[in-house]
Structure 1
């Protein structure tokens, strides 16, 4: 062994191991990414858009769908972290993940992820019907393909992650038998692409020049291209929403104020506010941006109120 190799081995051995927090169950829970579960609230999007959210049947069914989708997402996270354990140990942040840190053994992560991936679609087929089970199965297949190879393919990686968000938004409608409108799909799809590409852009900006601290695929993208994608997606999402708001769709206008049209203001302000973080390169964790920025939260509350009034035709 050469002197250089000996020094490298000694340095690696002397590097302090990431701290382990809690036991195996705590590690599995952390690997399931509880902070990411907020994304699964999108299951209420289609029923909310159709004004069929607040019946007892709808709430019970949507709660079940939320749990099932969360289980599928957890399965993907477990398998992904098990596959990437070696690479994550070289990352300044990801090396603290439970699987990379050794808190959750790799075989255990694979086993729990596999069980969740089998049980969730099976439960959906029994409790929610074949359409929901098929969508969950398609989500798992797509996300596992992403973990194995698709995350290394330019543009396809953006499309896969975006489709995952779109599936979350679609599954609530499938569970309740609600038709999905074209404007709903366009706005949701491009809104998701906006957030996904803004996240990639932020990662590229923050990790630039840091060897071993970034996704390999980010070196293939340019920040200019990623900026173009999130700006384009934001524009299409806003356009799709405005077309929905301006189209009466044959429903008689009986509300006190034109809430559909007024909701455009809040929606556009929300996009513009989020774009501030995207432009700064600080939108790497979308859930943190949404949950921690008070101005964005207030705009979101205003939009939800106006959107609800529009759907209820008050």
Structure 2
């Protein structure tokens, strides 16, 4: 009996882990974009606003998880032939569709409740994110170009949600750069789908028919160049210089260029751009570059009177 109890306990733990994996908590890192308005506004030391955005992060993470589950339910058959997605709980048969629907509903309800406690405006943004992604799941993701634009727009909604949660205005510069960065990652992800198609002969998604490697390569180069130019224009703009009290923000452009070049290297040389989240978790070069960018930007906007680079 004791042996059976241990076996049952291990089975329960494994099932719990499978249900947690279905929520994709590793992808909740994307929702850290909610904190970006706080960072750029110079309010990262404001504990009250950090608390409010943290609550918003929880709401957005639950909303995103409900969409992940919806996608997994809808794509369960196509995921079974994908070299990586076939190991997910639903296509692998580790979690039943009924349990997935229950978990999706609980996540959705939890997101609505938490969002409502923040404000009706925050709830509206979360609802808009959900509606957009539901339409994406049920057809829009099959339309090439539109599919990557919708994915990118989702990050803009995260930025707006963070601004609403912290009661901070979001500049047009920030919206543009976040959209472009998300677009770069979405293009690289679709390019990876093309490589999988070339190796297996199977389409991983319907929209892939509207792309080829030449188009994706040109798009990556185009968006990368626009990101760098837009970022430098942002750091050199009189409005930003006046707001932060320093003209030195362009120094941080070094890390932006380095980060984009590394991401392009991963895409073109390593041919491993399928999951931006996995890249962020695993690639030390990108992690260090991001950390140095954050530290340099933090130093320049929070301590603008220290002129260590002056002659």
Query: When the two structures are superposed, what TM-score results if normalisation uses the length of structure 2?
Result: 0.87
1:33 is matched with which residue?
24
Q: Relative to 1, partners in 2 of residues 1:206 and 1:44: Cα closer, same or farther, differing over 3 Å?
A: same
Instruction: Name the CA distance, whole Å, in 2 between partners of 1:253 and 1:151.
Output: 40
2:195 is matched with which residue?
205
1:11 is matched with which residue?
none
On the 8 A contact 2:35/2:162 being kept in 1, the answer is yes
Shift of 1:187: 0.8
Q: Give the 5 Å matches for 1:106-255.
A: 106-125=97-116, 127-212=117-202, 214-249=204-239, 251=242
Q: Give the 5 Å matches for 1:38-53.
A: 38-53=29-44
On the 8 A contact 2:67/2:133 being kept in 1, the answer is yes
Shift of 1:184: 0.7
Shift of 1:254: 5.9
Shift of 1:213: 6.0
Deviations 1:280-305 (A, max 9, x none): 32111112222322222222121111
Q: Relative to 1, partners in 2 of residues 1:204 and 1:155: Cα closer, same or farther, differing over 3 Å?
A: same
Instruction: Name the CA distance, whole Å, in 1 between partners of 2:186 and 2:243.
Output: 37
Instruction: Name the CA distance, whole Å, in 2 between partners of 1:21 and 1:152.
Output: 37
2:49 to 40, 54, 58: 58
Deviates more, 1:280-289 or 1:180-189: 280-289
1:271 is matched with which residue?
260
Shift of 1:226: 1.5
Deviations 1:74-94 (A, max 9, x none): 101111111122222233322
Deviations 1:166-195 (A, max 9, x none): 222221111112111111111111011011
1:98 is matched with which residue?
89
Query: When the two structures are superposed, what TM-score results if normalisation uses the length of structure 1?
Result: 0.87
Structure 2, unaligned runs of 5 or more: 1-10, 306-311
Structure 1, unaligned runs of 5 or more: 1-19
- Secondary structure, in 3 states, of the residue corresponding to 1:98? coil
On the 8 A contact 1:183/1:243 being kept in 2, the answer is no
Shift of 1:25: 2.3
Q: CA RMSD in A?
A: 2.0
On the 8 A contact 1:267/1:303 being kept in 2, the answer is yes
1:10 is matched with which residue?
none
Q: Relative to 1, partners in 2 of residues 1:164 and 1:253: Cα closer, same or farther, differing over 3 Å?
A: closer
On the 8 A contact 1:91/1:213 being kept in 2, the answer is no
Q: Give the number of aligned pairs.
A: 292
On the 8 A contact 2:177/2:230 being kept in 1, the answer is yes
